[in-house]
Structure 1
Amino acid sequence: MAKPTDPDPRATLRGGLPDRYLTPDDIAEIFGVPVETVYQWRKKRTGPPGFRIGKHLRYDPADVRAYVTERKSADRNAA
């Protein structure tokens, strides 16, 4: 859970993602969706690609950035 002094994670996405692997909670905050949605994306293979470290799900910031870029390109091409 974000502390009052933590920056808005969505602003972090615009300004550059953190230099650490992201958690499902981080992804939910960045995209402004419930964490359950993040798990559904993974189940349906529609969201940013994640990977497991033991029982923990993590996301590489470079993969998240590539996912956003891909989605933006797809939306522009569809219009």
Structure 2
Amino acid sequence: MASRTNRPTGRLLTVAQVAERLNTSQRYPRRLIEERRIAFVKIGRHVRIPESAVDDLITSGLVEPVRLRIRRAA
């Protein structure tokens, strides 16, 4: 039996809960699942997304601000 290294952590969220958290329609999380761009768990016919996968998705899209240095004329 293969070892399982990618176990979901935290709560398992429904598609509706993920959509609410991302402030989108349910269509976006369903597209992420269809394109295999987010980890998900199938329990029978139900699909659940680990909370950690949603956090990873948000973190991967994070853009840090650019800090400009002001040079003073001598």
Q: For the superposition of Structure 1 and Structure 2, which TM-score range results when normalised by the shorter chain?
A: 0.5 to 0.7
Higher helix fraction (1 or 2): 1
TM (norm. structure 2) is: 0.61
> 1:30 is matched by which residue type in structure 2?
R
Instruction: Compare CA radii of gyration and give the structure with the larger one.
Output: 2
- 2:21 corresponds, among 11, 25, 30, to 30
Structure with more of its chain in strand, by fraction: 2
- Give the unaligned 5+ runs of structure 2: 1-9, 65-74
Could you tell me how far apart the structure 1 residues matched to 2:28 and 2:46 are?
Answer: 17
Hey, which bits of structure 1, 4+ residues long, moved more than 4 A?
none
User: Which structure has the higher relative contact order (CA within 8 Å, separation 6+)?
Assistant: 2
Distance in 1, Cα, partners of 2:31 & 2:56:
19
Across the aligned residues of Structure 1 and Structure 2, the Cα RMSD in angstroms comes to: 2.0
- Which of 44, 52, 70 pairs up with 2:42? 52
Note the C-alpha offset of 1:67: 2.0
Q: Which amino acid aligns with 2:47?
A: L
2:42 partner SS: strand
Structure 2 CA distance, aligned partners of 1:63 and 1:39? 14
The TM-score, its normalising length taken from structure 1, stands at 0.58
Task: Report percent identity of matched pairs.
Answer: 22
1:71 Cα deviation from its structure 2 partner: 1.8
Structure 1, unpaired ranges of 5+: 1-18
